[in-house]
Amino acid sequence: MSFDRYVAICQPLHYAAIMKQQLCSHLVSAGWVLGFTLSSYHLVLLSKLTFCGPNKIQHFFCDNSPLFKLSCSDTSLLWKIDFVFLSFVVLGSLCLILVSYMGIFHCILHMPAASGRKKAFATCSSHLTNLAIAYGTCIVLYARPSEEVSLETNTIVALLNTV
């Protein structure tokens, strides 16, 4: 998505030549393959848990923190692996997006017309707002070891992320 915005703002006359259907298909396919690969690894970690107590999760969806707290297994290693794994995914994708937006801002600041700069900033502002909400909540939920954080806090932040 950010690459698309980068090309649209920084190279508008070349947009049709760069953003061909084949490139879009490759970008979407790469996202799906990476998502399924990382999700599969995550499911393998979760399948190793044993549960011996109540089977009700006080959460909006079946997230890691409630499952880890519900498990009878020793989850200390899983918390650490989950932290590293999800930090890589969340912070890695955020860094790629921020690099793209740095290029966009560089192009915007070098535009000769003020009206062009205003229009370009307006185009990006809603996306940046959504990024701030989505990545902010993801960082609070996943990019930190949350063994000591209460489920109530996780539930409230997850609700904000979901909405």
Contacting residues for 106 by C-beta, under 8 A, at least 6 apart: none
pTM: 0.71
The angle at the Cα of 64, spanning 63 to 65, to the nearest 5 degrees, equals: 100
Distance CA 108, CA 10 (A): 8
What is the Cβ-side half-sphere exposure of residue 144, based on CA atoms within 13 angstroms? 11
The total number of residues shown for the chain amounts to 163
Per-residue confidence in pLDDT tens, the chain, 163 aa: 677 878 888 888 888 888 889 988 998 999 899 888 888 877 887 888 888 877 777 666 667 777 777 888 888 887 787 778 777 888 888 888 888 888 888 888 888 888 878 888 887 888 888 888 888 887 777 766 555 666 677 777 777 777 7
Q: At what angle do helices 114-142 and 2-10 cross, to 10 degrees?
A: 170
